[in-house]
Structure 1
Amino acid sequence: MSDNIGLFVETISSGLLLTVQATVGGILIATVLSFAFGLAMLSGSRVVRAFARLYVEIWRGTSEVVQLMWIYFVLPVLVGFQIVPLAAGIIVLGLNHGAYGAEIVRGAISAVPKEQYEGGVALNFTRTQRMLRIILPQALVEMVPPFNNLFIQLLKGSSLLTIITVHEMTYQAREVLVDRFISEAATIWTIVLLFYLALAVLITLGMRMLERWTADIAGRRPPQRRGVIATLTARRAG
């Protein structure tokens, strides 16, 4: 049994790099799309808002499995070339979770008190300056916890890539090990579970560090307890 456990860990860990690549790639794409479309949904242009809302509803309202199958099997027929399985998986993870992230960004920015906008106007900041120096620093504090949950969901969603033959951890367990060691399936899947749990903990630790950093920027923690507007006013006065 001990020899088998070593084999199980070694085989599953051979798919760890692909799981990490899919997760990191998906997180990067999802983060960019979250801010791009989250801000677009707050645009003064009705066309821009409608386009952003269309993206969110399509990718949030359809099955992630169907999206994966469509990108991998249908899109190549339309564009004329086959997409690498890992690339297709990363694209779907990014697009799907970016739609959820866009709502996180929109909601966090909308939750910033109106007085903060008015304070930026009083400081003669442009609209861009108000967003970058006053609104976003405060909204980021509220975004980090839900983004932590979103990124963990994305990590778990990376297991779906097994259906398009990406040899990540779930594929290694299901296609390589379980067929050979069916009587030890419980042990195999427990090891897979622990691998995913470890990755989720790493994501959480990273996001906790980010949360503390954004809180410092927003003046929510010592030594900046005065808040963004008071801090900026003091700096200008100095």
Structure 2
Amino acid sequence: MMLMVELLPALWRGTVITIEVTCLSTAAALVLAIAAGLARLSPLRPLQWITALYVETFRGTSLLVQLFWLYFAFPLLLDIRVNAMTAAVLALGLNYGAYGSEIVRSSILAIPRGQTEASIALNMTPWMRMRRIIGPQALAMALPSFGNLQIELLKGTSLVSLITLAELTYQGMMLRSYDMSRTTLILILILLIYFGIAQLMTRIIRLLERRFVVGRS
């Protein structure tokens, strides 16, 4: 018990930072996913090409390398310095936003074409069609996939310890370096904390799913 009391304050500080990075990165990824997903469906070819370049670049390269580029390389190339938190949120947001854009695009394409044609016949503007007809249905279909992506993002936050951000994994490794005999206990606690956060996120997504199903029925 005394060991737990000694370890928990540092792990709690790391947990708070992990949750902060997760929330900020999720918000950034969601905005980028919606913007890029809609852009991929735009009739403007240059916009499609630019968005495709972004999506394929961030899906096709390592998140760890992207973190290192934002934190170490950009300051050298462009003389733009970002702190570890900003680099972490940007890298995670850009990376998972690229994956999320494909969820948005596929969800919109899954809406039956007849509904779009019917809304056009009713003289709805593109914005009205998206807000009233396509958007709610696409969101309901996308929620399970976005929930899985959010869990992946949470697990990806452990990589930001490598750019000196003192999140949960970083704090655990620092505690371990002080006393190697506590390694097993520290790693078990880290696993339990990540699991707890993931379960909370899963429950929130499921509540949203049920709400949207009820709203559509």
Q: TM-score range by the shorter chain?
A: over 0.9
Aligned length: 217
Kindly report which structure 2 residues correspond to 1:74-85, keeping only aligned pairs within 5 A, or say none.
74-85=73-84
How far did 1:213 drift? 2.8
Cα offsets for 1:10-65 (capped at 9, x unmatched): 22112111111110110010000000000000001111111111110000100000
User: What is the alpha-carbon distance in structure 1 between the residues aligned to residue 184 and residue 141 of structure 2?
Assistant: 39
Question: 2: CA distance between counterparts of 1:190 and 1:65?
Answer: 24
Inter-partner Cα distance in structure 2 for 1:210 and 1:155: 19
- The residue aligned with 2:57 is 58
* Separation (CA, whole Å) in 2 of partners of 1:214 and 1:119: 22
Once residues 76 and 209 of structure 2 are traced to their aligned partners in structure 1, the CA distance between those partners, rounded to angstroms, is: 43
* Residue aligning to 2:173: 174
Instruction: State how far apart, in whole Å, the 2-side matches of 1:214 and 1:164 are.
Output: 39
For residue 211 of structure 1, report the CA deviation from its aligned partner.
Answer: 1.5
- Give the residue type in structure 2 aligned to 1:180: Y
- Secondary structure (helix, strand or coil) at the match of 2:171 reads helix
- The residue number in structure 2 matching 1:10 is 9
Q: Is the radius of gyration larger for structure 1 or structure 2?
A: 1
Report the Cα distance in structure 1 between the residues aligned to 2:131 and 2:214, rounded to whole angstroms.
15
Q: Deviations over 1:54-98 (max 9, x none)?
A: 110000100000000000001112232421111100110100000
The equivalent of 1:198 in structure 2 is 196
Residue equivalent to 1:207:
205
| Structure 1 spans left out of the alignment, 5+ residues | 222-238
TM-score (norm 2): 0.96
1:186 corresponds to 2:204? no
Aligned identity (percent) is: 41
Displacement, 1:8?
1.7
Q: Unaligned 5+ residue runs, structure 2? A: none
Equivalent position amino acid for 2:139 in 1: L
Q: Which residue of 1 aligns with 2:47?
A: 48
Divergent runs of 4+, >6 A: none
1:215 positional shift: 2.5
The one-letter amino acid of 2:13's match is S
Give CA deviations for 1:77-121 in whole Å, capped at 9, x if unaligned: 223242111110011010000000000000000011111112212
Within 1, Cα distance between the matches of 2:138 and 2:94?
22
State the distance in 2 between where 1:108 and 1:181 align: 50
Q: 1:225 matched to which residue of 2?
A: none
76-85 vs 191-200, greater mean Cα deviation: 76-85
Kindly state the Cα deviation for residue 202 of structure 1 after the two structures are TM-superposed: 1.4
Aligned-residue Cα RMSD (Å) equals 1.1
Which residue does the alignment assign to 1:34? Answer: 33
The offset of 1:129, in angstroms, is 1.3
Take 1:215 and 1:122, find their aligned partners in 2: how far apart are those partners? 26
How far, CA to CA, are the matches of 1:149 and 1:67 in structure 2? 21
| 1:150 equivalent in structure 2 | 149
SS in 2 for 1:130: helix
Q: State yes or no: 1:133 paired with 2:126.
A: no
Equivalent AA in structure 1 for residue 113 of structure 2: K
The whole-number CA distance in structure 1 between the counterparts of 2:99 and 2:4 is 38
Give the deviation of 1:187 after TM superposition: 1.1
**How far is the alpha carbon of 1:124 from its aligned partner?**
1.8
Q: 1-side partners of 2:42 and 2:117: how far apart?
A: 18
